[in-house]
Chain A
Amino acid sequence: MSSITYLEAIREAQYEALRTNPDVFLYGQDINAFGGAFKATKNLGREFPGRVFDSPISEDAMIGMAVGAAVEGARPIIEMQFADFSSVGFNQIVNQAATLYWRTQTPCPITIRLPSGGTAGSGPFHSQSMESIYAHYPGLVILTPATVEDAYWMLLDSVKLDDPVIFCEHKFLYYHLKADDFGQAMPIGKARIARPGRDATVVTYSAMLHESLKAAEELRLDGYEVEVVDLRSVKPMDTDTILASVARTGRLLVVGESFPWGGATAEVVARVASEAFHLLDAPPLRLNSKDTPIPYHPNLWKSHRPTTASISAELRKLLRY
């Protein structure tokens, strides 16, 4: 019986990080006694007195503070209440944290947790996926766990890394995604074949993995075997695993929840087109959200983001070519 949720994995990883490394501390809005807006830090303040701090509503200062603390050898985990609000701390992330090592040879071991992605009724400012924005900047590691196991192990690995990590955890997976245990750790930077196939490759990550797996299952009923690759980390991107999959299938669809202009999905298509054009039997396709702010009402929201149905439709188009 599956009993550990994705959210509990994130809490447990922070527990473990605090327990095993005295340099780790947590800083974020409402995360101490209240346990965080999503309860990702529930009881951690009580279990680790003096290591979990409520911050003012100051995303810029929160990241700046983490950078200063990292210089002193601390390994802060910063919780953004919603990924969307990290835009207020954007300058500190891309200009302060991301440039520190390159400019001064001083490592910057900070982990920034971004509760990301859409859930019904969350609207334009509590639904965003920021991985593509941050991946554009040098000096950051961008992780997008899609499973309970990855949520746990990749968060623990983030804290151990000597570089700033943007940890994009998906809110849609928080309560619904469950596993029996934390399973095995896989290294950061390696993609995973989530479902093997031979007729087409879907490259995806985060919550879209699960929509893509369902779409692949739908296509199976029509006799197609679709391979699904879970990127796990958007940056670095495991190009080798992607190319190997395309070599097997000859067809590529890339699915992401963030906005369609540029971004992680475009990066995958660009790499495959330039490095493996000869392997493609059909033009590579991308599926992202629509190019509008994220709508509030579920009727609109379900049509704004990629879903099992829209991914299946794209796959059929790809397979018919």
Chain B
Amino acid sequence: MIRSRTLEEKLGSLYRAGGRIVGGVYLGRGQEAFSAAAGIHLRWDKDVYGPLIRDQAGRIAFGEPLIDSLRTYLGVVTGPMRGRDGNIHRGQPKHGYMAMISHLGSLLSVVAGALFARRIKGTLGDSAGATSIGDGGTSTGAFHEGLNMAAVEKLPLVVSIANNQYAYSTPTSRQYACENLVDRAHGYGIEGHSVDGTDLLACVKVYRTAFERARVGHGPQMVVGRLLRLGGHGEHDDASYIPESMKKIHESRDCLTVAQQQALDLGWTTQAELEAWHKQARQEVDQATSQVLKEPTPDPYRETWQALSTTSLVEGNEG
């Protein structure tokens, strides 16, 4: 969480400084606890993870090198997307790390498909999948189709719904008419869990149960976290549509502050150690940033401009 917050602060300041980051910056401030609590239950190369826009913390917890985020935002060729795609649209599918597209809900069936293929091949073992969505994304047909299919196949899939009250500027009252999103789990024939998304310990506990149950064959698990994103949809957005009173309540429940207090109260760490972690994170982020700023950006003359992997079928390459 600390590394995620520190990295995202850097991304925000790079965006505001202008120049190097093209396109938007989409941050997970306020959602780190809910995201990281899922990510720590996932194993790189063993499980399947399809994170979404506000999952920087989950991505780090899953095992993505922090520098890959910077590389993708800056579009350098050393990054996983090599300048062909940017910001949060990144992944390494060969390692079970799916790269989201912008169309909400559509990643769910992809993660499910990876698990389905493993089951057919007999390689599923105790692996699980996880993917994330917001309250807005639950309104898509793709989300419904994917979750229903995963439920029919009883796949070991954990679906995180970060109910952050606003889909861009649209409040939940214009998004759904049911009382609680988690009630939908019953309709899909899957298990549902609800948690205060600003409470790290509660999130870890809920995800531990959800992943355990998914891995032993209880089918998809829906985890709904109540929280508020502490910022705009992207850094271009001042979130003026969120009432000040609501912002104040949630700023005082910043999940990072809550988590640090929890760790202190339980005697897991000390104030001095926390400060050291923050300092370490800042050094790591600064070092990564200065490295990435020196790395090469893509050269259109060296780009293959080839959308197919079969070179002989690329028009003009028939030989």
Contacts and interface: CB of A to CB of B under 8 A. Distances in A.
A91 B99 contact: no
A108 B110 CA distance: 12
B116 A163 contact: no
B289 to A, nearest CB: 24
Given A102-B84, A104-B91, A106-B94, A61 B313 contact: no
B148 interface: yes
Interface stretch (B117-125, B241-249, B277-285): B117-125
A27 to B, nearest CB: 9
A163 B309 contact: yes
Interface string B64-81: 000000000000000011
Given A139-B308, A236-B313, A104 B113 contact: no
Interface in B101-117: 101-103, 106-117
A72 B118 contact: yes
Interface in A2-56: 22-23, 25, 50-51, 55-56
Contacts of A58: 109, 145-146, 148-149
Interface in A40-86: 50-51, 55-56, 58-74, 76
Contacts of A236: 313-315, 318
B308 A56 contact: no
A303 interface: no
Contacts of A101: 307-309
Contacts, number: 158
B120 A96 contact: no
A95 interface: yes
A56 B108 contact: no
Given A68-B109, A189-B313, A236-B315, A96 B101 contact: yes
B21 to A, nearest CB: 19
B310 interface: yes
Interface string B45-87: 0001000000000000000000000000000000011001100
Contacts of A188: 313
A68 B117 contact: yes
Nearest to A64: B109
B315 to A, nearest CB: 5
A189 B310 CA distance: 11
A100 B99 CA distance: 8
A248 B114 CA distance: 51
Contacts of B120: 25, 50-51, 69, 74
Contacts of B111: 68
A162 B310 contact: yes
A68 B315 contact: no
Interface in B302-319: 306-310, 312-315, 318
Contact of A71 (B114, B141, B318): B114
Contacts of A106: 93-94
Nearest to A163: B308
Main secondary structure of the interface of B (DSSP, over half): helix
B101 A95 contact: yes
A71 B149 contact: no
Pick from A25, A58, A103, A163 the residue with the most CB of B within 10 Å: A103
Contacts of A246: none
Interface residues of B, number: 47
Given A69-B117, A74-B121, A189-B312, A98 B307 contact: yes
Interface residues of A, number: 54
A195 B249 CA distance: 77
Contacts of B313: 141, 161, 163, 188-189, 236
A60 B113 CA distance: 12
A237 interface: yes
Nearest to B85: A103
A92 interface: yes
B110 A68 contact: yes
A204 interface: no
Given A73-B117, A163-B310, A189-B318, A68 B112 contact: yes
A96 B89 contact: no
A273 to B, nearest CB: 17
Given A91-B142, A103-B89, A68 B106 contact: no
A64 B142 contact: yes
Interface string A226-262: 0000000001111110000000000000000000000
Given A58-B145, A101-B309, A236-B315, A71 B98 contact: yes
Top 8 closest A-B pairs, CB basis?
A68-B113, A64-B109, A65-B113, A69-B117, A61-B145, A58-B145, A138-B307, A72-B117
Given A58-B149, A64-B146, A103-B84, 14 more contacts: A58-B145, A60-B141, A60-B146, A62-B109, A64-B106, A64-B112, A67-B110, A91-B103, A102-B306, A102-B307, A104-B81, A106-B93, A106-B94, A141-B308
Interface of A: 22-23, 25, 50-51, 55-56, 58-74, 76, 88, 91-92, 95-96, 98-104, 106-108, 138-139, 141, 161-163, 188-189, 235-240
8 contacts: A60-B106, A60-B109, A64-B113, A64-B145, A65-B112, A68-B109, A92-B142, A189-B313
